Structures are given as structure tokens and as C-alpha cells.
Amino acid sequence: MGYSFGRLAERRHYRSILRREAELRRVPVFATRYLPDDRATHAETTLVMGNVVISVDYFKRFLAGLRMLVGGRLKSYETLLDRARREAVLRMQEEARRLGAQSVFNVKFETMSISKGAKNTVGSVEVLAYGSALIVARSLSA
Amino acid sequence: MLMTNLESVPGRNVVRHLGLVQGSTVRAKNVGRDIMAGLKNLVGGELKGYTELLQEARQEAMDRLVQQASAVGANAVLNVRFTTSSVAQGAAEMLAYGTAVQLD
């Protein structure tokens, strides 16, 4: 049961991620620390962030347990982290757009495992993405 | 209070440097949310209760950061960073830190 529901949920999540990524492409995100010169003046900056806690399903946890015996790629956890990061970035972009920002600079990630080492629990992670949203006044951005 | 994780604020100069400021909070998960999260754990997916919990905790850490910054007479905090660590089973610390400055 965990298998089918988990897979369904993951597919649905990926679809929604792709859709929103296309939608939010107008708010580009940069990992650079420096602002481009032409935008550096007459702009306001403010901190924006997005976070998400997400967990794997029971079946994947079981698969990962098997995989850990022999080593190698843990694909079920790879997709978990990929989804979490992209979701966190999307939420940050949404907040930036709500504030009327044109772009987000100096994006940093922070990852924390919530139930690390706990017995009988399924691994879940929190991902936080944060950065500085650049808001150029409407009259100047034209 | 202006907060940014850039090293400078576009169009403004730093007049005074006031040193490192920080704010932190340690939070434990609550039981009601834990049960819900436990159920959700079976099928995977987002644990909304925890997402909100951590959001609130981070907000509190930021509030304390701002408090400390205004106590030293700053009007902006530059280069803000966040970090988290799980202190004990089911408890997490949120730390926000940055450089307090006075902008013109």
C-alpha cells in the first residue's frame, strides 16, 4: 500500500513541481553573491525563504534498507531530496513574487534530517532555501 | 530592520559596524502533530505540521536576531545565515546570525 500511494504522491508532486517551475521562471534565482551593476542601485532587498518537510514512504525506506547492505546509489532518497529542494526553492520564489521582486540573489540551502537515527521511523528531511529578493521600483524597472 | 543575506545593500553605505548578532530557539515536536506525521510517514509526502512548526521556530529565531540588533543600535543586518541542528531526539535548534550595521 505504501508503495502505490507513495509512488502516486511522488508523481503528482513532480508534476506540480514542473508546472510551477515553468510558471515561476520569470523570477530567476541566482547563487551569486554580487548584484549586477545596472540593478544594484535604486533597488530594495529583503530576505525571502521557503521551507518544506518531506518524508519517504514505507516501501522506499525498506528498499533503501536493502540497498544499504550492498552500498551504491540510494535512488529513493535521491528523489526525496530533489523534490524537497525544488519545492523549497519554489516556495521562496512564490514569496519573492508576492513581494513584487524581479529576482533572488545569493540563494543558500540548509538541510536537516528530522528523525535521524530514530528507531522505527521513516526518514524525513527539512530543506530551507533562502536568499535576497531584489525589488526594483516599478517606475525604474521599465 | 532591514535583513538581507547579501554583503551590502544596493545604494546604501555602511556607516558603522556593530558586530555579530544572533538569535536562536530550541523547539520540540508536539504530540498531536507527531501522530499525524506518523501516519503521513507511511505513505510519504509533505509533513505540513512540521513545515509550519519549523517555520514558526525560524521566525522566532529571526525575531530574536532583530531584537539583539536593535539593542546595539543597528538599522540593518547583513549576511544573514540560518543553521539548524537536532539537539536531542525530537528537538531542533534554529539559529539565525548576521552582521549588525548602521546604514546611512
Mutate to test the interface with A, among B46, B59, B85, B103 (most CBs of A within 10 A): B46
Q: Do A114 and B9 touch (CB under 8 A)?
A: no
Min mean pLDDT across A61-70, A88-97, B27-36, B94-103 is at B27-36
Residue in A52, A110, A131 closest to B51 by CB: A52
Residue-wise pLDDT for B5-54, tens only, equals: 988 888 888 999 999 999 999 988 766 666 666 666 667 778 888 888 88
Domain harbouring A47, CATH code:
3.30.110.70
- Options 3.40.50.300, 3.40.1440.10, 3.30.43.10, 3.30.110.70; CATH for B2-29+58-103 is 3.30.110.70
What is residue A98's predicted lDDT score, i.e. its pLDDT? 93
Torsion angle of the four alpha carbons B1, A111, B47, A15, in this order, in degrees rounded to the nearest 10: 100
* Least confident range of A75-79, B87-91, B100-104: B87-91
Q: Indicate if the pLDDT at residue A140 is higher than 80.
A: no
Domain hosting residue A70, numbered range: 2-141
Q: Is A26 in the B-facing interface, judged by CB distances under 8 Å?
A: no
Q: Rounded to an integer, what distance in angstroms lies between the CA atom of residue B6 and that of residue A40?
A: 11
Where in chain B are the domains? Answer: 2-29+58-103
Per cent of chain A over pLDDT 90 is 34
CB atoms B47 and A2 under 8 Å: no
Decide: helix, strand or coil at residue A99: coil
Q: Residue type at B25?
A: T
pLDDT of residue A19: 92
Question: Looking at the predicted structure, is the pLDDT value of residue A9 above 50?
Answer: yes
Q: Which residue has the cell 506540480?
A: A16
Q: How many domains does chain A have?
A: 1
Query: Which pLDDT score, from 0 to 100, does residue A142 have?
Result: 43
pLDDT given for residue A136 in this prediction: 79
